[in-house]
């Protein structure tokens, strides 16, 4: 086994470049499936939310064999919010396949994942994907990638990257645009040529392995996943674990598993170079180094970029609290967040102090990062009150000035809508970096405060009639840009408890956009719609038509209502203001005011006004 060549690769790219599709093809041609086996598309995206959203959220491992060589493959997320998943696995691989769309070229997240790979000294393999597109410009894209390598200070060796062209969905890779191919053989051969044999002598060194990912098994407990950098691991072996805090402890490995196809297979021994899953070490954590007790040499800690956004996860205090959820107390929420911290390294949790409602401040890498956690919790039976997302400001250590997180945004819209979008981005303190047009669609690049984009996506979709594309990625910190206008419209707030009636909703339609339909249970303080003006409006959506001596309640024509706006979780989180919450339950999403009665809201508005004076 020590003579068997093992190569570890990661597939990295911007979202929608075709990573998961390429991994499907590698697995298929690497013999991971039976000939007659029915396989789902994007087989590595096994999480329910991944399949529903059509994105990769978690880094995952699999393995294939090609010409007697074992190739461990790591599929990584492409969305900027999950970049912490990419950061921590880079040290476990020998090379990365950088996948770039033949039409779009390098996108913001491409820069981030490539930068991490180059920092660790990896020599990437470039694959231009989707060369069958009508608007492909593969040769230009290669030049753009070369420029990106130069901008990121790649070494001369890294600049000499091999380039392939392919169609991942058809399982094809070729050496040039002119040559033809029927499979991924050119990619397999390039991987083997690019990566030399893992040094045999390292297998004879004292054991050293670093944990890069965690998993959980209901039978054997917490699992640590990582690469063996030196030595061997044996089942039953006693090891020293060095934590990120430098504290040593002793443990015993009860089980070792390696990857074959999509499955983990138990082995009694594993060798340097392989990616393994180990069990039996209580409290194992990401970044821990597993060492030989006689030769303790901790590896460099895995550093993850700091969170940029926070939300408050509060105990649900609405009148409907506990009706559908199983887990409603602060203790339930705390235990669930503590479990999440064990596997989600991009997350931080702080207890709320001086708060009227029990809860926790949860810090993450963006709205999507946190909303995926919220959605997971509601599906598990949790009830929560979620506050408006807030960006995390920093202090400049030299000047003491406030710094705020910025984002690089690429907008691709039909030309007739470009003026509206540019105007709105300018109002939000954005700075245009580049603009290009082909006469039909305009491509605009902006540097803009992250907080300016909270609530902008739905507005962007409406303004572009669903034809616009917006891509975002983190772009460092810059001095505070000043106040930015928040939501322009007020809301309609229920002033009664009960079921909504079509008669009342029909009258309210004239005042704005409804968020609820007929026969919906509402309570005082619940938001039932958007007001057409900038002030909040208290309404009664439960009012029925009164009977009179001359007319019955059924004599008028039936009320015909416009379909109400049913918000998704992300839309609701973007929509709310500082004095509002999203009530999340396993069945329903509701918008509500933090303070339910008119008197309470008036009092807190006065208090806030006095505090700002």
* Residue set of the binding site: 16-21, 129-132
Tell me how far apart the alpha carbons of residues 27 and 168 are, in angstroms, rounded to a whole number.
12
Cα–Cα dist 27/23, whole Å:
6
What whole-number distance in Å separates Cα of residue 399 and Cα of residue 377?
A: 41
- The DSSP code for 307 is P
The SS3 assignment for 9 reads: strand
Whole-angstrom distance, CA of residue 204 vs CA of residue 231: 5
Contact (Cβ atoms closer than 8 angstroms) between residue 30 and residue 95: no
Nearby residues of 115 by Cβ (< 8 Å), 6 or more positions away: 152
The b-or-e profile of 491-524 (16+ CB within 10 A means b, else e) is: bbbbbbebebbbbbbbebeeebbbbbebebbbbb
Detail the residues annotated as belonging to a binding site for GTP: 16-21, 129-132
Total residues found in the chain within this entry: 613
CB 349 within 8 A of CB 312: no
Asked if 519 and 499 count as a contact pair (C-beta separation under 8 A), the reply is yes
Per the rule left: phi > 0, alpha: psi between -120 and 50, beta: everything else, 482 is left
- Residues whose CB is less than 8 angstroms from the CB of residue 48 and which lie 6 or more positions away in sequence, other chains included: 379
Strands of 292-430, DSSP E: 309-314, 348-351, 359-364, 384-386, 390-391, 394-395, 402-414
Q: Is the distance from CB of 429 to CB of 482 less than 8 angstroms?
A: yes
Task: Spell out where 422-461 has E strands.
Answer: 431-437, 441-449
- In order, the DSSP letters of 247-283 are -EEEEE--EEEEEEBTEEEEESEEETT-EEEEE--TT
Closest-CA residue to 389 (of 455, 309, 458): 309
């Amino acid at each position: 086994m020590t003579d068997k060549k093992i190569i570890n690769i990661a597939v990295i790219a911007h979202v929608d470049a075709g990573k998961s599709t390429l991994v499907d093809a590698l697995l298929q041609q690497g013999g991971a499936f039976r000939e007659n086996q029915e396989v789902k598309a994007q087989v590595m995206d096994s999480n329910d939310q991944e399949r529903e959203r059509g994105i990769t959220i978690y880094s995952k491992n699999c393995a294939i064999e090609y010409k007697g060589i074992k190739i461990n493959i790591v599929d990584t997320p492409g969305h900027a919010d999950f970049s912490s998943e990419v950061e921590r696995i880079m040290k476990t691989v020998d090379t990365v396949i950088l996948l770039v769309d033949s039409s779009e070229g390098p996108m913001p997240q491409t820069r981030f994942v490539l930068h991490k790979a180059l920092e660790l000294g990896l020599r990437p393999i470039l694959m231009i994907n989707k060369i069958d597109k009508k608007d492909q410009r593969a040769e230009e894209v290669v030049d753009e990638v070369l420029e990106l390598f130069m901008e990121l200070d790649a070494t001369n060796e890294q600049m000499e990257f091999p380039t392939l062209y392919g169609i991942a969905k058809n399982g094809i890779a070729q050496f040039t645009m002119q040559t033809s191919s029927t499979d991924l053989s050119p990619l397999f051969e390039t991987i083997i040529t690019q990566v030399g044999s893992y040094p045999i002598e390292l297998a004879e060194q004292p054991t050293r392995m670093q944990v890069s990912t965690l998993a959980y098994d209901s039978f054997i407990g917490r699992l640590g996943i990582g690469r063996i950098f030196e030595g061997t691991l044996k089942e039953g072996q006693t090891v020293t674990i060095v934590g990120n805090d430098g504290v040593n402890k002793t443990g015993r490995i009860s089980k070792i598993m390696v990857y074959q196809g999509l499955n983990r297979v138990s082995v009694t021994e594993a060798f340097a170079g392989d990616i393994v899953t180990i069990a039996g070490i209580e409290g194992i954590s990401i970044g821990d180094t597993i060492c030989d007790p006689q030769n303790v040499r901790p590896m460099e800690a895995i550093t993850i970029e700091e969170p940029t956004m926070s939300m408050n996860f509060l105990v649900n205090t609405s009148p409907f609290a506990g009706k559908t959820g199983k887990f409603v107390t602060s203790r339930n929420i705390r235990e669930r967040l503590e479990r999440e911290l064990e596997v989600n390294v991009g997350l931080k949790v702080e207890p709320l102090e001086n708060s009227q409602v029990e809860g926790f401040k949860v810090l993450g890498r963006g709205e999507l990062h946190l909303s995926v956690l919220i959605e997971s919790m509601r599906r598990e039976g949790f009830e929560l009150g979620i506050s408006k997302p807030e960006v995390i400001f920093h202090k400049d250590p030299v000047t003491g000035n406030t710094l705020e997180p910025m984002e690089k945004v690429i907008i691709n819209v039909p030309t007739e809508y470009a003026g509206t979008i540019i105007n709105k981005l300018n109002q939000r303190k954005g700075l245009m970096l580049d603009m290009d047009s082909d006469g039909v669609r305009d491509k605009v690049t902006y540097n803009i405060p992250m907080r300016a984009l909270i609530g902008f996506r739905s507005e962007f979709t409406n303004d572009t009639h669903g034809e616009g594309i917006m891509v975002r990625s983190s772009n460092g910190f810059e001095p505070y840009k000043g106040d930015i206008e928040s939501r322009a419209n007020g809301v309609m707030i229920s002033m009664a408890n009960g079921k909504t009636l079509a008669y009342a909703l029909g009258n309210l339609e004239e005042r704005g956009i409804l968020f609820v339909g007929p026969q919906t249970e509402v309570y005082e303080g619940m938001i039932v719609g958007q007001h057409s003006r900038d002030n909040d409006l208290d309404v009664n959506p439960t009012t029925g038509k009164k009977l009179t001596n001359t007319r019955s309640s059924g004599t008028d024509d039936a009320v015909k209502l416009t379909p109400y706006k049913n918000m998704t979780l992300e839309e609701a989180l973007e929509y709310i203001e500082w004095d509002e919450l999203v009530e999340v339950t396993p069945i329903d999403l509701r918008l509500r005011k933090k303070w339910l009665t008119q008197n309470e809201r008036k009092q807190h508005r006065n208090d806030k006004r006095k505090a700002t004076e």
